[in-house]
Copies of this chain bind each other. A is one copy, B any other.
Amino acid sequence: MSGPAVPKAVVLLSGGMDSSTTAAIAGRQGFEVHALSFRYGQRHAVELEAARRVAAALGVAQHVVLDIDLRAFGGSALTGDLVVPKDTPVERIGAEIPVTYVPARNTIFLSFALAWAEVLGARDIFIGANALDYSGYPDCRPEFIAAFERMANLGTRAGVEGAGVRVHTPLIALSKREIVLKGTELGVDFALTSTCYDPAPDGAACGRCEACSLRLRGFREAGVEDPANYRTR
């Protein structure tokens, strides 16, 4: 005798604090989590190790790492030869689209999540996009996510014949402080996560790039100690 089927969800998991908290939220909401990560030529490939550790710690049903070749296009500090900016005053982060912007990255990631969801028979996709402390990326804004969902429902079998696709962004309106508190409440082990845009080969965070700056401020404001390994403190 089998009980009611557990609904499946595809969760984009980079291995950072946001996506790890998002995966924990999806699990807490009762979804069977299918985690999806990408090897896309990022400088910070140690984040994939973090994604593996987080997926294992959360006990996800499946974790797939897809190879995609964004380097063929160039165009960002995260995949090309540009220098990752350091020591940007935290209040200035997000004032403009930064050089670390990867063209259409979330569009590409969500498109693959959509394909996998359709194959799995899942209608739920989770992404840890965050529009408050969001570093200025246009593809983290709620209006972008809503437009993606609408497009997805017009372009897939699930949207046309089925119940439709939902893109969940449980962190979209949270501050980094609130994300730290939410993750802590759900038992996310932030020591496993990797946020830095320019980590050392052993994974130690720089503590000075925009991602580190926002993370550190979030932990500080939450009154929680960041368990990540920083090399410059």
Contact = CB atoms under 8 A, between A and B. Distances in A.
Complex copy number for this chain: 2
Interface string A125-143: 0000000000000110101
A28 to B, nearest CB: 26
A103 interface: yes
A139 B119 contact: no
Interface in A160-180: 160-161
A159 B147 contact: no
Interface string A57-72: 0000000101111101
Nearest to A75: B119
A115 B67 contact: no
Interface residues of A, number: 43
The SS class assigned to the A binding surface is helix
B115 A139 contact: no
A107 B157 contact: no
A150 interface: yes
Contacts of A151: 107, 144, 147-148, 150-151
Contact of A119 (B66, B74, B119, B143): B74
Contacts of A143: 154
A101 B35 CA distance: 24
A69 B116 CA distance: 11
A203 to B, nearest CB: 25
A53 to B, nearest CB: 21
A232 to B, nearest CB: 30
A114 B71 CA distance: 14
A161 B111 contact: no
9 contacts: A68-B68, A73-B119, A108-B108, A138-B159, A141-B155, A147-B147, A148-B151, A150-B150, A151-B151
